[in-house]
Chain A
Amino acid sequence: MSKRVLIVDDALFMRTMLRDIFTTAGWQVIAEAETGEQAITAYHEQQPDLVTMDLVMPEMGGIEALQAILRDAPDAAIVVCSALGQKSLILDAINSGAKDFIVKPFQSAQVLEVVERVISES
């Protein structure tokens, strides 16, 4: 059965790109979210195998959403996405329980290496 992923990013461009990478690799994108709140709701409704979470989003940011999801589902496999200049945010996210991270701009091989690894470990 193909793995189910939830993509969280406020930019349509990034969501489209990730969707493309995932579907090409045989994953199923079960939902997309534009904000932290949407992400939390979508996670509870869909129970995806993996979440890619943008860290910088308007209103509720990625770290807050990540912490909220992990409170209810401590084993949730969440991979955070962030731009290169936001290393301290990435560190916070990992410290908060993100399984791994992807640095933008990313390439499909890198994304897949990270998510496949996270899935196999969880």
Chain B
Amino acid sequence: MEIDKFRDMFLAEAAEHLESMVDILMQLDLDPQDQDGIDALFREAHSIKGMAATMEHAETTKLSHHLENRLDICRKLGRISGVEIDWLLEATDLFKLLLDDIRNNHEERCVASFIATSPKETGTSTTLDSPQRKDPLSSEGEGLLVQLQLKATVAAPGPRFLVLLKTLSKFGTIIESTPSTDELLQGNVPDQLFVRLLSDTPQEQIKQQLLRYSELQEITFPGKINKPVKSLSKSPADKTVRISTELLDHFINLTGELITNRYQLQNALKEKNWQELDDGVGQLKRLVKNLHHQVLKVRMVSLEGLTGRLSRTVHDLSRSLAKEIQLKVEGAEIELDRAIVEELTDPLVHMVRNAVDHGIESRGTVSIKAWRERDQILIQVADDGRGIDPEKIRQKALDKGFLNPSQAQTIRDYDLFQLLCRPGFSTAQEVSQTSGRGVGMDVVKTAVEHIGGILLIDSAPGEGARITLKVPLSLAIIRVLIVECNGAKMAMPISRVIQTAEIAPEEVQSSGKQLMINYHDERLPLISLRKILKYSKNVALDPIPLVITEVLGRKIGLVVDQLVGQQEVYVQRLPAPFDQIRGCSGGTILGDGQIIFLLDLQSLFERRRG
């Protein structure tokens, strides 16, 4: 169908409109009388409607039309209520699901049951009379709201819902339900059943009765209607990139210049005019650098999209936990590689959730700050909560056998905090009661290290906690340290390197079987890259070249044969099945045609340990 050609475009644009809707909603949450904001919101809904109708996506059109109507009322009232904002946020979630349906060529899910949950108060004078936000529960009207979801395997959902509706009616009076009995009898098969029930029976008792239906997947008594899926993960639509025509023009100009350059070089070669050839190569160098720079620009996105979603996370979470938490964002305009932003989304959501859930007790601020230091981006998530008590971690590390008593005495706070990222150090419940942190931090750390970044934790009791991520600007082109081992060159992302050093053999001390060195005032274990890679015995080196790095939360001195130097390289992923090789995260071709591999120490050590 002709219209299919436009589908990707529609999906990408609609997703953008949704993102800005969420952003505007978050702003309106702070200033509910911002007329421009409400106007802008109306326009976003209107744009989605126009596109969806053109594409003949009926349910998406229906939902956006409904939103448009409601927002029109808000426009006339000159304000938007907190309940309405919450509901509209949920509507954006539903939009995302609808877009997923369209993307996956599924039939769009039905929006009628969601529309039926629209807050009742918007169009009435109550909003005018009560500028203060109302509690979402009380504003929902009379009765108990019951939301039922069946398992996907249920053979006859329509009849099952009908039986459930009858069962619920035994507890009192059903004020309304979506779908209604009549709709069910007409063969309407919904995803979920929403019932508003007026009953004297305690909620728990009703729930017990409902639990006897093994067909039920989920029974909820929402103060407001919960949408089943709230996904923050990126959708495949993000894979398309929109670039400005200006940038495209730039590419065309560059291509033109490259063509001219080619003739210049060919000519110089034919005439053996070395000066001309030299000029030509110089010109080529300049052009390629420019091209690289521009291409990188296409891949760069700002953190704004991500931080926008995070403010949503904080909003939803603090509301559900009845906490007063603000999100402060600094440096959202910082740009980095789109692939990195995608990789960072889940870890950052995790960190922010941790801060809201465990870091801050009842009110406070979570701040996200991003800044650039040379070719690295630093992103810091901080809270002003109770902080992490190193003593508690120390005790726990002792109890769990992560440290022996003498290590526990000498370990520095920095390394102590890194223990939080060790797999198995903590489980959610235990830590939220003790140190208040550590939920899934090992997962976060692994994700950050996967893209060549590092994670630092810093905190003190009563002073909140700061988690800093250092990540490379771009995944494709990164600065690496090239080392040599057993005659082979290999590379490590510079972002993983703390320092390089050369030490005299006399400086090496032994502690049992382990060789150690003093690095500043720390004792670091020496580990030989030859040994890890199972090459022949170590050769005697004087001085000994070292790479100070951090693996699995521990600082180590990695002994290599030679430190070759630093370089910017274009890293390519290895094609299957080579991508399965542990210890190697990609390859690159050096200027002289040599192929070198990128060392992934993390996985090498995991193998070694295992």
Contacts and interface: CB of A to CB of B under 8 A. Distances in A.
Interface of A: 84, 87-88, 90-92, 94-95, 99-101, 103, 113, 117, 120-121
Contact of B159 (A101, A117, A120, A121): A101
Contact of B212 (A84, A91, A94, A117): A117
Contacts of B170: 121
B155 A90 contact: no
The list of the 4 closest CB pairs from A to B, nearest first, reads: A90-B159, A103-B155, A94-B162, A117-B212
Contact of B155 (A84, A113, A120): A84
Interface in B568-598: none
Given A95-B185, A113-B214, A117-B212, A87 B163 contact: no
Contacts of A91: 158-159, 162, 184-185, 187
B504 interface: no
Contacts of B214: 113
B7 interface: no
A104 to B, nearest CB: 9
B187 A94 contact: no
Given A91-B162, A113-B214, A117-B212, A101 B156 contact: yes
Contact of A117 (B156, B185, B213): B213
A96 B155 CA distance: 21
Mostly, the A contact residues are helix
Contacts of A99: 163
Most buried by B among A84, A90, A91, A99: A91
B262 interface: no
B392 interface: no
A90 B156 contact: yes
A95 B162 contact: yes
A37 B181 CA distance: 30
A28 to B, nearest CB: 23
Contacts of B163: 94, 99-101
Contacts of A84: 155-156
Nearest to B167: A121
Contacts of A88: 187
Contacts of A117: 212-213
Given A87-B187, A103-B156, 13 more contacts: A84-B155, A87-B158, A91-B162, A92-B185, A94-B166, A95-B185, A99-B163, A101-B163, A103-B155, A113-B212, A113-B214, A117-B213, A121-B167
Interface in B169-195: 170, 181, 184-185, 187
B156 to A, nearest CB: 5
A87 B154 CA distance: 13
A101 B187 CA distance: 16
A117 B170 CA distance: 14
A103 B153 CA distance: 12
A87 B156 contact: yes
Contacts of B181: 95
Contacts of B166: 94
Nearest to A116: B212
Interface string B409-428: 00000000000000000000
Nearest to B187: A88
A114 B129 CA distance: 50
Contacts of A100: 163
Nearest to B212: A117
Contacts of B185: 91-92, 95
Contact of A94 (B155, B159, B213): B159
A113 B215 CA distance: 10
A8 B213 CA distance: 24
Interface in B207-223: 212-214
A117 B163 CA distance: 12
A87 B212 contact: no
Contacts of B158: 87, 91
Contacts of A101: 156, 159, 163
Interface string B385-396: 000000000000
A84 B155 CA distance: 7
A94 B163 CA distance: 7
Nearest to A98: B163
A95 B187 CA distance: 12
A17 B163 CA distance: 25
Nearest to B170: A121
Interface in B15-67: none
Contacts of B184: 91
A99 B162 CA distance: 10
Nearest to A105: B155
A101 B163 CA distance: 8
Nearest to A95: B185
A113 B156 CA distance: 16
Nearest to B165: A94
A84 to B, nearest CB: 6
Contacts of A103: 155-156
B219 to A, nearest CB: 15
A95 B185 CA distance: 8
Contacts of B167: 121
Contacts of A120: 212
B211 to A, nearest CB: 11
Contacts of B187: 87-88, 91
Contacts of A92: 185
Nearest to B209: A121
A101 B157 CA distance: 11
A99 B163 CA distance: 7
A41 to B, nearest CB: 28
B221 to A, nearest CB: 21
Nearest to A113: B214
